[in-house]
Amino acid sequence: SVPLDLTALRAQFPILATRVHDQPLAYLDNAASTQQPLQVIQAVSDYHQQYHANIHRGVYQLSRNATRMHDYAREMVAHFLHAAEPVECLFTRGTTESINLVAASWGRANLQPGDEIILSHLEHHSNIVPWQMACEATGARIRVIPIDDAGELDMDAYRRLLSSRTRLVAVNHVSNALGTINPVKTIIEEAHAAGALALIDGAQWVAHGATDVQALDADFYAFSGHKLYGPTGMGVLYGKRSLLEAMPPYQGGGDMIEQVTFEKTAYAQIPNRFEAGTPHIAGAVGLAAAIEWLEGVGFERIGAHEQRLLRLATERLSAIPGLEIKGTAPHKAAVVSWVMVDPPIGTLDIGMQLDLRGICIRTGHHCCQPLMDRLSIASTARASFGVYNTEAEVERLADTLAEIVSAARDASARKGSTETPP
Ligand code: PMP
């Protein structure tokens, strides 16, 4: 296919041309949130300027049109995930709410004392805490798939954890902290063989490669719009129709009912049953535009470009003496996490110094405290790449880091030479 024209592609993202601290912006925090192309910004703006009305039940044309736009977004999402039907794609606030929905609705209706949920050591807090809450309410318990030092799941240990007590396996498709791409198809297959369901947290995958929930045979699949070049406050929960239809509502309110009396409420069919209240209509419009934009670029080109950036970043950063990369699995998304051990420079310090030079990375535990504990560290510095990042930005990150490290080394040498022994 035609290679990416990065200059033209970047021109579609106005924010990339801005400056911070009077330096050109190098935005390398795409695992936290991606920026939005004009196509998305314009679609949302057009919606607000010309089409906004509350959806459903409106007899007037404006409302009927807004309803159609909202329905169209669901069709786009179904097509994007290769879901069998749009009604299997629920709109949520994001990955976090999607997982909470399953934990609260499916979890509380199906879990019993003695049941087990299998998570992994790579999980984001949003795929841990909702399960802890469901376990507290039901008496079920959590088992954890361990990882090796490279940040890969120990699949033999996973097989040993699976048993007739396992009700659900919930793992991420890609680790946000290390970038590991997990073998989710195998994980799902083996969960099913043990009689359990599988939920995949796709927050860090969907922007980087094609997703096919039917080929994966995922029971639930969650993602967020803002990691997909779309708006915040907008997410998706895919669930198989038979499962969703058997689940009790998550929240009660308007738009999720068939009929209400003070004695009893009959709930609406899916997806409305799980979408109480006025939804984020503009968010749905923006998400549909983001999907159209991404599909226009094409995952083949996105994947090839991002893998090139990953290889370059890995090569350049690992050449910095005293820098240790965390997460060295052979199959990774374009995420590089590291710590500076010699000279020891705190990750927060690294992040702040890079910011002064216009480079945005993330530092901290990345909402993965159990993973940090497993690696015996408190935090990492993380650069994560998106389709608009360039090799020049990767070089700039590496050069700037090398400068920071060498300045720290000089400072500690000076300190050492001026210190008089007691
Ligand atoms: N899971 C993973 C793997 C993530 O990276 C994130 C976002 N950092 C989430 C879940 C939560 O997504 P959100 O904050 O959009 O709900």
Can you tell me the mean pLDDT for 248-257? Answer: 92
d(C-alpha 298, C-alpha 201), whole Å: 22
How do beta strands 141-145 and 166-172 pair? unpaired
Within a 10 A sphere around the Cβ of 71, how many other Cβ atoms? 14
Q: Give the per-residue pLDDT at 176.
A: 98
Locate all alpha helices (DSSP H) within 139-180, ordered by sequence: 155-161
**Mean pLDDT, the chain, as a whole number?**
96
Q: What is the pTM (predicted TM-score) of this model? A: 0.97
> What is the arithmetic mean of pLDDT over 320-325?
97
- What are 265-292's pLDDT values in tens digits? 999 999 999 999 999 999 999 999 999 9
**Structural domain boundaries in the chain:** 6-30+298-408, 40-295
Q: What torsion, rounded to 10 degrees, do the Cα atoms 306, 310, 313, 314 define?
A: 180
CATH of range 6-30+298-408; options 3.90.1150.10, 3.40.50.300, 3.30.360.10, 2.30.30.30: 3.90.1150.10
Mutate to test the pocket of ligand 1, among 367, 369, 382, 384 (most ligand atoms within 8 A of CB): 367
Q: Percent of the chain scored above 70 by pLDDT?
A: 99
- Letter for the amino acid at 375? L
Average of per-residue pLDDT across 17-22: 96
Q: Give the list of residues 6+ apart from residue 48 with CB closer than 8 angstroms, or none.
A: 282
Amino acid at site 345: I
What is the C-alpha to C-alpha distance for residues 95 and 127, in angstroms, rounded to an integer? 9
CB atoms within 10 A of CB 335: 27
- Indicate whether residue 94 lines ligand 1 (CB < 6 A): yes
| Contacts (Cβ under 8 Å, ≥6 apart) of 328 | 150, 151
How many whole angstroms from 409 Cα to the centroid of ligand 1? 36
Q: Ligand 1 in contact with 179 (CB < 6 A)?
A: no
CATH domain 40-295 topology: Aspartate Aminotransferase; domain 2 (3.40.640)
**C-alpha span between 27 and 9 (Å, rounded):** 15
The strand ranges marked E within 10-115 are 19-20, 23-24, 26-27, 89-92
The per-residue pLDDT for 57 is 79
CA angle 213, 219, 222 (to 5 degrees): 70
Which pLDDT band holds residue 417 (cuts at 50, 70, 90)?
Answer: confident
368 is a catalytic site residue: no
**pLDDT digit string, tens, across residues 109-134:** 999 999 999 999 999 999 999 999 99
> Measured in angstroms, how far is the CA atom of residue 227 from the centroid of ligand 1?
8
| Vertex 400 angle, CA 394 and 401, to 5° | 90
Query: Which tens digit of pLDDT belongs to each residue from 63-89?
Result: 999 999 999 999 999 999 999 999 999
Q: Is the CB of 224 under 6 A from ligand 1?
A: yes
Instruction: Provide the ipTM.
Output: 0.99
DSSP string, 299-357: HHHHHHHHHHHHHHHHHHHHTSTTEEEE---SSB-SEEEEEEETTEE-HHHHHHHHHHT
Q: Identify the residue whose tokens are 């997460």.
A: 327
Q: How many CB atoms lie within 10 A of CB 8?
A: 8
Answer yes or no: is pLDDT of 394 > 70: yes
Residue pLDDT, tens place only, 130-174? 999 999 999 999 999 999 999 999 999 999 999 999 999 999 999
Of 175, 176, 184, best ligand 1 pocket probe by most atoms within 8 Å of the beta carbon? 176
Which residues pair with residue 89 across a beta bridge?
238
The verdict on the CB of residue 328 being under 6 Å from ligand 1 is no
Give the start-end residues of each E strand in 182-219.
197-201
- pLDDT higher than threshold 90 for residue 419: no
List Cα–Cα distances, 228 to 84, 259, 337, 363, in angstroms: 21, 37, 21, 21
pLDDT at 420: 57
Question: Quick check: CB of 130 below 6 Å from ligand 1?
Answer: no
Distance separating alpha carbons of residues 123 and 176, to the nearest angstrom: 8
